[in-house]
């Protein structure tokens, strides 16, 4: 087979942990399948199929993986029909541990259910019935809290949920519970949160405390980005004839931004920010709007004004001394909040046990109970005997879509990975991480990738060659994302090292088509909602372009129209 240099390294490198950053269309599944096949057939140190643990993101991906590795081995058997070892591996691959994380956890729990004191006939509950159990749990929680008469609860309820409805309280408790489930050891996280809050409330140098400095430095970093944008702007218009009022505006804003950038503490930043403001943008004449950089200056002015106004309203709301007094008053409420979330977890779990139904988060946490022996004072997990036994069983651990792994899943992997027994092969693309709302942690990907780049504990391999798309599509994609994606926004700098490139031998390598944009420009932007006439105009624009393509020799079957949503668009499209 023909592999790129990077694919070859990912397939044939041995005895090292490997992280593969695979861009779209880079053949990552082919690499995974080929690596497994080559490991099975390795002449020096063959790995039998039942010594693999492969974790995928979906059941469909797991099924595809099994099918493709089976086909690969069957093709090899066809060339060597007397190979009994190969025939044995084909049988084993059908029962190999190739599944989603949840399926792996499910199997582990049913095998060791007696250690968890749960009924092995449990099932995953439907969302509707789980919702009802949560409602029962929150109602019981609040009944207990009100009946207790705890002063801390009364203050918490009065502060965050005034009025007759408990809806806000229910939402607050639910939010904290769900977020805490993203940590392998929620109790440790709760205690750490309380300790940090207490230190913040009691510190004598609040302005220089780590938490406050973190807030200050984040705000200053945002400001410095605007300052850099201003420097580029001033450089671009140097030598131009700038309308006087905009020259004065830029000077005033520049001085304000410079004064903020010179501060070294929260209080100093607060004082400068609160005493100054970004001047209003001067009313423009028709001649002003003819100035080439008018829109650029207006846009930058709006950005910096919104940023500093947001900082005033949400971060730098009072001097450090006043905020410290507030922090001291809030600490008892934080303690109560945590008590409520922890008690809710106990009640909700009891209801689920009674019905013998659980959710997917439960599968992961039950698996952790089996795999973690204990946590040290710093929250570091240590493997149980069950985990050590599994680590000896699995010679190779593969993880697909690693960019969407969460902290709980990462801890499961750590418990199963043992330096002297197995190696870890992770593959993903941080640019495609889309599950942060499910507490996915793409920073885990970045951290491991950085560590492997220095070859401290493994090797990092970049698969950039795209074998799926035409060069014109890749060029356009790179152009757009190189201007949108950077480490602070997207987790990675989209540059020459990470950009997609057309792979040699790809089916569309010779395609010379380029990407094009069709612009529908409104006279003014009054609302983000799309008016019916906009849909008709866009449809007419698309129809006209399709007719031009047909006249150029294309067929209707060559063309596809992709819509973000069909609502309100399908009928007009069909009519045209």
Same fold across 5-115+361-463 and 126-182+326-358 = no
What digits encode the pLDDT tens for the residues 70-92? 999 999 999 999 999 999 999 99
Please check whether residue 261 is in contact with residue 244, taking contact to mean a CB–CB distance below 8 angstroms: no
What digits encode the pLDDT tens for the residues 49-63? 999 999 998 999 999
Residue carrying structure tokens 């001067």 = 282
What confidence category does residue 497 fall into, taking pLDDT thresholds of 50, 70 and 90? confident
What digits encode the pLDDT tens for the residues 311-340? 999 999 998 888 888 888 889 999 999 999
Please check if 26 is assigned to a binding site.
yes
The mean pLDDT of 213-242, rounded to a whole number, is: 86
Please check if 22 is assigned to a binding site.
yes
Predicted pLDDT of residue 529: 52
Of 527, 520, 480, 517, residue with least CA distance to 500? 480
DSSP characters over 317-358: SS-HHHHHHHHHHHHHHHHHHHHHHHHHHHHHHHHHHHHTEE
What confidence category does residue 527 fall into, taking pLDDT thresholds of 50, 70 and 90? very low
Joined together, the tokens standing for residue 53 give 């643990």
The mean pLDDT of 238-253, rounded to a whole number, is: 86
Spatial neighbors of 529 by CB under 8 A, at least 6 apart, are none
- The number of helix segments (H) and strand segments (E) in the chain equals 23, 12
Q: What is the SS3 string spanning 184-245?
A: CCHHHHHHHHHHHHHHHHHCCCHHHCHHHHHHHHHHHHHHHHHHHHHHHHHHHHCCCCCCHH
What's the CATH code, domain 5-115+361-463? 3.40.50.300
Please check if 88 is assigned to a binding site.
no
The mean pLDDT of 182-207, rounded to a whole number, is: 88
Q: Output the pTM of the full model.
A: 0.81
Domain ranges of the chain: 5-115+361-463, 126-182+326-358, 206-317, 516-575
Please check if 24 is assigned to a binding site.
yes
Please check whether residue 109 is in contact with residue 366, taking contact to mean a CB–CB distance below 8 angstroms: yes
Distance, in Å, from the CA atom of 325 to the CA atom of 121, rounded to the nearest integer, reads 53
Looking at domain 126-182+326-358, its CATH architecture is Orthogonal Bundle (1.10)
Which range (248-262, 358-372, 453-467, 477-491) has the least confidence? Answer: 477-491
Predicted pLDDT of residue 573: 65
Please check if 502 is assigned to a binding site.
no
Which range (185-194, 338-347, 463-472, 483-492) has the least confidence? Answer: 483-492
The mean pLDDT of 33-43, rounded to a whole number, is: 95
Predicted pLDDT of residue 489: 64
Please check whether residue 423 is in contact with residue 80, taking contact to mean a CB–CB distance below 8 angstroms: no
Q: Angle 294-299-304 (CA atoms, 0-180°, nearest 5)?
A: 130
């Amino acid at each position: 087979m023909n592999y790129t240099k990077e694919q070859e390294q990912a397939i044939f490198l041995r005895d090292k942990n490997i992280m593969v950053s695979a861009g779209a269309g880079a053949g990552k599944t082919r690499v995974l399948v080929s690596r497994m096949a080559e490991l099975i057939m390795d002449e020096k140190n063959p790995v039998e199929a039942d010594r693999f643990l492969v974790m995928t993101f979906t059941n469909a991906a797991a099924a595809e993986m099994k099918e493709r590795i089976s086909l690969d081995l069957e093709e090899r058997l066809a060339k060597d029909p007397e190979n009994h070892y190969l025939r044995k591996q084909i049988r084993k691959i059908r029962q190999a541990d190739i599944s989603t994380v949840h399926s792996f956890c499910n199997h582990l729990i049913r095998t060791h259910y007696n250690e968890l004191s749960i009924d092995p006939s449990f099932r995953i509950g439907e969302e509707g019935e789980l919702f009802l159990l949560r409602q029962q749990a929150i109602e019981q929680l609040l009944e207990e809290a009100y009946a207790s008469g705890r002063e801390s609860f009364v203050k918490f309820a009065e502060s965050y949920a005034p009025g007759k409805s408990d809806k806000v309280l229910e939402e607050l408790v639910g939010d904290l519970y769900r977020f805490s489930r993203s940590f392998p050891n929620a109790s440790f996280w709760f205690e750490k949160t309380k300790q940090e809050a207490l230190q913040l409330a009691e510190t004598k140098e609040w302005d220089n405390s780590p938490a406050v400095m973190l807030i200050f430095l984040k705000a200053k970093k945002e400001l410095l980005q605007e300052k850099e944008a201003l420097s580029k702007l001033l450089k671009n218009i140097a030598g131009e004839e700038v309308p006087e009022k905009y020259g004065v505006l830029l000077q005033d804003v520049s001085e304000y931004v410079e004064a903020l950038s010179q501060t070294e503490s929260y209080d100093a930043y607060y004082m400068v920010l609160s005493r100054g403001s970004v001047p209003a943008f001067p009313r423009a004449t028709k001649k002003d709007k003819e100035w080439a950089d008018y829109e650029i200056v207006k846009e930058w002015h709006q950005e910096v004004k919104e940023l500093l106004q947001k900082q005033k309203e949400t971060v730098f709301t009072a001097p450090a001394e006043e905020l410290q007094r507030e922090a001291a008053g809030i600490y008892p409420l934080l303690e109560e909040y945590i008590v409520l979330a922890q008690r809710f977890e106990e009640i909700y779990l009891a209801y689920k046990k009674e019905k013998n139904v659980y959710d997917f988060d439960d599968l992961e946490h039950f698996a952790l109970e089996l795999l973690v022996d204990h946590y040290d004072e710093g929250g570091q997990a240590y493997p149980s005997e069950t985990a050590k036994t599994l680590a000896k069983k699995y010679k190779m651990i593969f993880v697909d879509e690693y960019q969407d792994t969460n902290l709980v899943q990462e801890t499961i992997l750590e418990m199963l990975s043992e330096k002297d027994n197995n190696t870890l092969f992770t593959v993903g693309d941080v640019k495609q991480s889309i599950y942060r709302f499910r507490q996915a942690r793409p920073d885990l990907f970045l951290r491991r990738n950085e560590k492997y780049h220095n070859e401290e504990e493994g090797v990092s391999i970049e698969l950039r060659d795209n074998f799926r798309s035409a060069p014109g599509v890749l060029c356009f994609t790179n152009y757009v994302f190189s201007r949108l994606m950077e480490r602070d926004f997207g987790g990675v700098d989209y540059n020459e090292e990470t950009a997609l490139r057309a792979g040699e031998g790809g089916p569309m390598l010779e395609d010379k088509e380029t990407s094009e944009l069709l612009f529908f420009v409104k006279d003014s932007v009054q609302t983000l909602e799309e008016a019916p006439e906009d849909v008709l105009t866009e449809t007419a624009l698309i129809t006209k372009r399709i007719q031009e393509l047909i006249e150029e020799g294309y067929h209707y079957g060559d063309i596809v129209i992709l819509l973000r949503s069909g609502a309100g668009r399908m009928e007009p499209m069909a009519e045209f």
